[in-house]
Chain A
Amino acid sequence: MLGKTAGGLFWMFRYLERSENTARLIEAGQHIALTQPASFGDEWASVLKSAGSYASYVNHHGEDILHDRAIGWMLRSRDNPFSILNMAAAARENAKLVRTALTREVWEAVNENWLTLRDALARKVSERDLPDVLALIRQRSAYVRGALNGTMLRNEIYDFARIGTFLERADNTARILDVKYYVLLPSVVSVGTSIDNVQWQTILRSVSAEGGFHMTYGRDARPREIAQFLILDKRMPRSLSFCVHKLQENFYYLYTGSESHLLCHDLCDQLESHTTSRTIDEIFDSGLHEFITNFLQSLNKLGSQTEIDYRFYN
């Protein structure tokens, strides 16, 4: 397999994953804005930060975060490289590059994803249409995933697609935690207040995990358990633990046994043991924020080392 193809697959699936997550973040943000309008003026700033679009927004529009603008920036702005519209185009460009590695079904799903979103996001999306558009975005991502699962051989092509997916997903969940970690900290003042309840619900909502959480931990959201769920729960498909486990699995499949030792494999093993070897209490004790910051850095390093080791660019 060409190094370029491995790189194209990696990025194609990173874009698809991030685009879906951004839609979820907008949905959660919109929900808060509609249900708690007074108390959460800066919610859109958090959403932008979690979506990785805050700095570019401020650069372009200034510090003033306006509801409509924030949504437009993340949904369809041409100037934001991580707007859903730009990411749909970038995913398709990468798919074109690796067309020979994809089944017709996967290619058509990615192509149709772009064709559909290009039309749906051609004009400003009104508040009234927003829920439908967000649902459409998630639905189109699901088609791509379905085509991938249903038609692709489980070979190294699939492994690079999965590595891109889980690297991005881990990054996204970690960034949500990074932005919101303070509401999960045990604090005398706000424990059990309704404000925190809303914040906790938002965190769960932005990773589509409300139902799963309640199923596992009951109705009451408590910060320690939310952190446990999003960081350590191996059944939760967007938890850090789940993602690094999948990364490790896919790196392991890539290893044929005959090649010389690759650094990215070590980095992945280290990341896995750092993430999963501690209990949630130990993580809180040694500092939640520090834990997340370290996690994001290691993940980043793993991504760049993978590019080098598998010769994406040279």
Chain B
Amino acid sequence: MRFSVTSRLPAFPLADRMIDLKNNAQLFDEMWGHDSTLRDAYANFNNWLEVEEPARLRKKQTEAERLFRLSGITFNVYSKDDKEKETERLIPFDIIPRIISAREWSRLSTGIEQRVRAINAFLHDIYHRQEIVRSGRLPIELLTHNEAFLPKMIGVSPPGSVYTHIVGIDLIRTGPDEFFVLEDNARTPSGVSYMLENRATMLHMFPELFSQNRVQTVLNYPRQLYRSLAKCTPAQTDNQPTVAVLTPGTYNSAYYEHSFLADKMGVELVEGHDLRVVNGRVAMRTTRGYKAIDVLYRRVDDDFIDPLNFCSDSTLGVAGILDVYRAGGITIANAPGTGIADDKAIYSYMPEIIEFYTGEKPLLKNVPTWRCNEPESLSYVLENLADLVVKEVHGSGGYGMLIGPTSSKRELAHFRKKLKANPGKYIAQPMLSLSTVPTFTRAGLAPRHVDLRPFVLVSPRGVDITPGGLTRVALKKGSVVVNSSQGGGTKDTWVLED
């Protein structure tokens, strides 16, 4: 079949691109670069796109939504005003993939591995001798005044010395070779089911794309996750270890992911009320009595995991699990107390942390960060508020943050007050111009800002990074907020083979 030229989908509506370029000369598009030159990784894809009929693509975009709806990959949205009211929503999926070359990926993954090794060494250190504090590179207050630091973990060595079995490193890009780490997710990184479902959906809808492009697979992730967890089994087990996933329950926003991972790994999905400590082991209630668990991949926060040791009214955890853990009777992944490593105040020390434990310069840069508890930084931040992004140290999900450049004078004044009242609660960063990737909009393809969360598995045998990850895209024109709770969508992320 032949298409007339006019029926083709323009790669970008010209006007849209011009506006964005005018606003920011630095804008980098991952397909079209700084100057509208097609970048190599997208060459094959572009050949396909150029002859694709817009009507077909539009149909595929609708079909994708139906497929996601059917699979049940929904998340519950919490409204701040009404916590009782939950609605099931789909995270919008964009059918235009984000493509990363083998060379780019190899640089990224080396940097990620360095960072993750440093994080594990850091966690081991702060729960043991605290050399980094003794050496004067990290203020002790960052640990002692931090709720994410768990004194009960002091002196405890997790099986295989692995603290963060699963890590998600959030990256942003500003140019061909400019990547920055925006955030380390060291406690319970989520989103991996989207990485997998996005790929499965693309394979289903556009099989031809995968014969034309050599894309590294991500679909081994569940198997690797199982192997990685099984390797961390406590020493006393000699049979095939029993692994289980602990979920807060069907009403949790990430429940789909919990059940998805348990299903794909072929392990039980348990809730707190399925578990109990029996004969010094954590065991699950089966139809034939209690069965001991060796490795628990928990998707429940530290605070709720053990009502005896932490939050006493929690029904999500297991009474006494921490005692079993300290006695070496179970592996908890990620280890309790790892949350300290993804604290935003600690984040600002990551370059020092990496150097301290690896003896190398960090391969991946941090976004420059001002700690507002330091008087000099605070006054700089107050003066330049309109150009900065300010985040809560303990916040997540894009809530409670200020984006200076897009805020009104009133909003700035209001935030300035909050900042002065409680400077220790905030950090500030420059407004970086996130890279864009062409994204399907009503008017055709348009550049939209993206970030990237690769998923990393750590076991005593090493660090395993899945080639790809979750690309989140801010669907609103000009927006840089990619969080799904704030109108973000996702894309399939391709890492090409060499």
Contact = CB atoms under 8 A, between A and B. Distances in A.
Contacts of B271: 4
Contacts of B71: 104, 108, 111
A259 interface: yes
Contacts of B228: none
B166 interface: no
Residue among B269, B271, B284, B287 with most chain A CB within 10 A: B287
A6 B72 contact: no
Contact of B284 (A2, A100, A259, A310): A2
B285 interface: yes
A314 B275 CA distance: 10
Interface string B248-263: 0010000100011011
B145 interface: no
Interface in B259-279: 259-260, 262-263, 267-271, 273-274
B4 interface: no
Contact of B285 (A4, A111, A112): A4
Contact of B268 (A2, A115, A256, A310): A2
A2 B287 contact: yes
Contact of B70 (A1, A4, A112): A112
Interface in B71-126: 71-72
A203 to B, nearest CB: 37
A96 B252 CA distance: 12
Contacts of B288: 256, 259
Contacts of B255: 96
B70 A111 contact: yes
Contacts of A1: 286-287
Contacts, number: 56
A142 interface: no
Nearest to B287: A310
A3 B286 CA distance: 5
Nearest to B288: A259
Choose among A1, A4, A108, A310 the residue with the greatest number of B CB atoms under 10 Å from its CB: A4
A67 interface: no
Contacts of A259: 288
A43 interface: no
B477 interface: no
A163 to B, nearest CB: 12
Contacts of A6: 287
B204 interface: no
B263 A99 contact: yes
B259 A4 contact: no
A108 B262 CA distance: 17
Contacts of B70: 108, 111-112, 115
Given A2-B274, A3-B274, A4-B271, A96 B285 contact: no
A6 B69 CA distance: 26
Contacts of B287: 1-3, 6, 156, 310-311
A136 interface: no
Contacts of A249: none
B72 A107 contact: yes
Classify chain B: how many residues form its interface, as a range: 20 to 34
A100 B286 contact: no
B72 A4 contact: no
A4 B360 CA distance: 50
A261 to B, nearest CB: 13
A88 B260 CA distance: 22
A145 to B, nearest CB: 18
A100 B268 contact: yes
A97 interface: yes
B97 to A, nearest CB: 24
Nearest to A103: B263
A93 interface: yes
A2 to B, nearest CB: 6
Contact of B259 (A100, A111, A112): A100
A94 to B, nearest CB: 9
Interface string A2-20: 1111100000000000000
Max count, chain A CB within 10 A of own CB: residue among B71, B260, B288: B288
A143 to B, nearest CB: 12
Interface in A108-130: 108, 111-112, 115
A259 B274 CA distance: 20
B263 A100 contact: yes
A5 B262 CA distance: 13
Contacts of B284: 2
A152 to B, nearest CB: 14
A97 B274 CA distance: 12
A99 B259 contact: yes
A99 B269 contact: yes
Contacts of B259: 96, 99-100
Nearest to A115: B69
Contacts of B285: 2-4, 311, 314
A69 B288 CA distance: 46
Nearest to B244: A2
Contacts of A112: 70
A247 B283 CA distance: 30
A259 B286 CA distance: 13
Interface in A270-314: 310-311, 314
Contacts of A3: 274, 285-287
Nearest to B245: A100
Contacts of A111: 70-72
A112 B263 CA distance: 19
A174 B250 CA distance: 34
A156 B267 CA distance: 16
Interface core residue of A115, A310, A311 (most chain B CB under 10 Å): A311
A103 to B, nearest CB: 10
A107 B255 CA distance: 15
20 contacts: A1-B287, A2-B268, A2-B287, A3-B286, A3-B287, A6-B287, A96-B259, A100-B262, A100-B263, A100-B267, A100-B269, A108-B71, A108-B72, A111-B72, A256-B288, A310-B287, A311-B286, A311-B287, A314-B273, A314-B285
Given A1-B286, A311-B285, 14 more contacts: A2-B270, A2-B285, A2-B286, A3-B274, A3-B287, A4-B271, A4-B274, A100-B267, A100-B268, A108-B71, A111-B70, A111-B71, A111-B72, A259-B288
9 cross-chain pairs, A with B, having the tightest CB-CB distances, nearest first? A99-B259, A100-B263, A310-B287, A3-B285, A100-B262, A6-B287, A96-B250, A100-B269, A111-B72
